[in-house]
Structure 1
């Protein structure tokens, strides 16, 4: 390097550090200034938006006042028109003197109403939102008044003319509310302006429906110029706006609405219109009835105006608060930004000078360390510099420890305790932490593998081996018994009265009872015996070896005695029993499924003969198993020979009494036996793979039938189509073929997937978690999923949010129960299901009072004998045809 270049380098090095720091700080300072300006500008925009929203809301109030005043003119105007029309006749029954006095009083009222309307119009400022519409309404109103004064309009024309005026004002009022709601505002203000829009919409609908209704009453049909409108359509719009009032956000507004909605002033009009809309009455109204309805309509409009005043007041207050907050925030931002700029410039200069001196000293010490001289580092200067100095000092200390370890290694002192410590400094800590993390990860993986293996073979609630593990353990025991020539026993336990525990005390208490039962079973059996939970309230005890069959009966009696003792759970004391079926491996039985079937059959006999007892599988039960095998063969033959038939029970929309779908129910007419009840053959099919064949047949036939109905009775545009619900067994749902089976029937029938509802019991979801994957895949096809008989299994309400389901069907035992608390439980289930976005179907509705309660609780759909019994395909199709003709 030349001397000139070295001089330039030294010159650059001599530049003060504070100058660089100051220059560096200037860039973010400029950013602070730009950010401050941007914030101030944004606050200005927000203030302007809030002011516009406030003005628009004020315009809504003024326009509504004008509209209300115009509607108040209708009563005297109509009365004058009626009197002018009846002048010279005696049909009214009034003398000329009385008629003249009444007309003079109506004229005074008409003049007073005009003055009120004119004052309201004068309050609208020029250029305000809706001012142009108000001007047009004022011009139109003057013409109408002149016609009324000159008696140039009949009763219908008067109503139609005033309807035109109020329609223009209501449109302007709605536009002003929409303009206020369109402004960007905080959530509370946006909700308040939305409230104004909702109330304004209801006011508009309320102002339309009565004039249209009276116009039809007075003219005997729609008046000229309003043929496209009908009061029935306006009534539908009004009821829709009425329901949307439930979305009001402001508490005082909800109170005002509730007070007004429940008043006789409000309901007087709705009762009349509802009677005509529902067909309760169709008689033409008299003139006095018309005038009475008009007065009630004006009173209701005044009430709605009061509610709108509350909404407008809330929205204006919030918009004004937003505007003031934005203005204050803008001033604060400007002041803070200016102060920060000034303080930052001064602070940058002082900090630069201070840091430069401290860093100069630190740089010298660092240079010595870099040359290998582990000097003591002086800690001085600003906090940041002291931090760097302390860090350099720690690094020097770490290097000294590494130096000591190196010296120990160099001396061959490998037994030095210093070598057992982690490497000093951050690098040593990272290495040591990495080793610990690796060890910890290996241990966690081993623990996780063990936990997963345990979960796959054990019941999560009781920690007992589950059904699959029970079968494996039983098969292994039978194999050992075959080799040794010893007997193996299996006790099948089914709890008695457990469902009542769930129904009366809830599933949490039921779960605790199951855990207590598991503990008692483990305490009674021998050390080598195995207790397993099959699911629900069913357990088995595997006993090996067995010396005498009597030992198994003695064990069964001890189990019955233990379980029958009172159980304390959830602050309650409950009692349950248990029915025990005993099966013993005889004749070299090595099939675990056979032994399970024998023990299960014995349990069934124990239940039939009084419960809380033990029964041993014998020749009689073996004959019953043979009978079951014969029934299975008959079911298979019935499927092949076309003996199965589907009946369809309609599902009804609770709110509008409309058939919204059907549930397919299988029926079997067995040759030589007649109709076989589903409860007699479905459980047999569920115990084997036959249930999958039945499911496939029902899926195929039900989807084909609904597709045929859709072809013969097509739905009108925008009309909901009926769904078809089909039950899917737990065994079929757990089978990997179920997704393809559903996809095949949908493709064969051409039925849209959304119209197929697959019903599964909640017990399946609890006992077969693997079925959840198939259920999710079925939903991915586009089908809906419903939990059938909800409340009879062990699913908690909180689990619903995690399940791939769309609909919840409440079991009939809850709907028809008269036990205390069941009605509240049904209401709770409905609310919880709606919270999780699920629709609700109530099963087994058989009494009108039940349907009334379900409607009050907000239940979506219902089915039961009160509504419809299961129908043949022909009758169900005829019902659908009637529904189509009615809705079409």
Structure 2
């Protein structure tokens, strides 16, 4: 047809004599017989070589499995020790002094981390050969580590899980060893594999003696036991049996190393100490003895690993020699076969000149293509050869296109025009669609990874590193300082007067002030120093290296001066200040948390001494931190010994003066100190996880008490609520929703009778807290903003917050300053506009109550109605068996 063009990829059918014409002319029965016989011989040799290669691979896998099993068992011992160290009840049950054992915790943590790293390395090496098995073991091991860290199971369960994982690895190891010795594996190699397995069995039995010994020390009725004395004695029999089997080692050199190992002081010392016959029932080792046994076990495990590794190395060397010998035999057979075929081919000269040459060229080109070299393919020779050559040439052209596209993707050149050119045919369309999908996925992943990494490590408002990143940067700087011997400085910057900016001009203005402060702080630093935002109006400055402490003080004074300069934000000219705490890493052992605590403590003193100044952490502040640590320990002990109790302050209906609910307030009667004011111990608890335990305890007590009152009062108390305070730290804990649900289910209290009080700062600053509050409200509980007006929340934000009640802070209710009455009235009207209930705190006289009645406030609490009372007296007020003046 005129004007029609052929596709450049379409080729004409090749012409020439058919291939059968050439083959028929010369191929005869003798050559066929030679080829058949040669094929049989070559196949036999190849099978032999493949069997030897599989045996070599099986030996290597056996060694890798043994290393994974050994490191897992070592990790298990220290995980169990750390579990026991962190459990005072278990230590008390054993009879060990808690303080002495706890003092050894850093040593146990360090050793456990070392063995964890060794286990991860072993599983990585195993994953190169057996990725499926290694992946399964890694997932199970990760679960065991989480169990050990979160202590969601007992010591017994944790030990059995580790034993199960070890047994699985040993079973896999034995299967691999069986595979290595199967088939035609030479006797010497099988004997070497058997020696290695005997040593591996001994290592497994030896690794379990320490946990069984320690487990037998624990009273079974006390719980958390690893095993009884019978379990220890049974394990000891398995160990002595494994040790006796090593007398049958086949290799003299391995046997000699075993005898030298068995006579070592670590083995003899452990065998003597862990022998049940040497320890009378009821005996409990001292902390020093446990540490000594643990260190001796580490030495023995190291020596055992070397001994077992040498045995596996010998088996692997023999297997490699077997494989090399089989390969050599296969090569010799191939060479002989080649000679025979060549002799037979001498009679096929004509075939070699016609078909042979063209096929040889085509075969060479095909071989180059198969190795990834996309050469030009010729089309000379018989018709069939030309057809194959043309097809191969077309395929090479398509492969070049795919190669160019893959190269562009690999180099990150995602805008290359080659990526837009499709290949011909249905396969080409599929390949092109795949390339486009890969390009789109790579682009999306790069963009998402970059965005997520930045968001995870930076504050969205100022684009400074956030709290988590600040801690990571500080930890890294301290590690560098330990190696170099230099000092690291940390400046804790707390803004002065920032709340007044937020209250007076709004959050948009406050945000702009924070961005400007961040810019000014960065401008005062050296190239290697870092400024981070912790949240709210708190920043830290990380300085490294530090020559002298005076340099940090000078920097702090410069920062105070630059922050103090007036700032224009949202059209307003505002001023803020800064109080700075300075801490220096003089002690090589200090960690990031401790350095943060020192700088924070120094900043607190700077604020207490007048603000707008810098204070350096010194011995006096160190004594305060020590006192705080002692108070934390006393709080933890008091929770366990029943020193705390809950008092209940009535919340009254403003219109009817009837009891509408109670607020649960914790009180501490500390032995030897008397009643400790809440403002002394609650801030200390809030700096640690203790506040979560304290909140959980108060929640359980308060819900149970209200449930009991409801039962005693019949239906008369069905309207009464119980308010329980939740700290910011507890509200961000992933367990808080489950804790509340469990308390309600345990006591039978309806969820709508529980009010959870939180500070407005938590609502504004922490999105996780807001998610948890939404989940708590879905349970049916109510949420109240406590001390409203003292934080950053504006009245306009009330509409969008996940709350039901607003509690006006006592500083506004009882204030005599001009305008505060109108401010309280505004809060009440705004809360009612958004459908919120209002509780006024700190009502102390009749005049204050009257003003609240005039403004139609819903509820009130304070000394005018009653102080916080013990449960029995508070119940009398609810049940109507006491006068209304109770508690005044």
**TM-score (norm. length: structure 2):** 0.49
Higher alpha-carbon Rg: 1
**TM-score (norm. length: structure 1):** 0.49
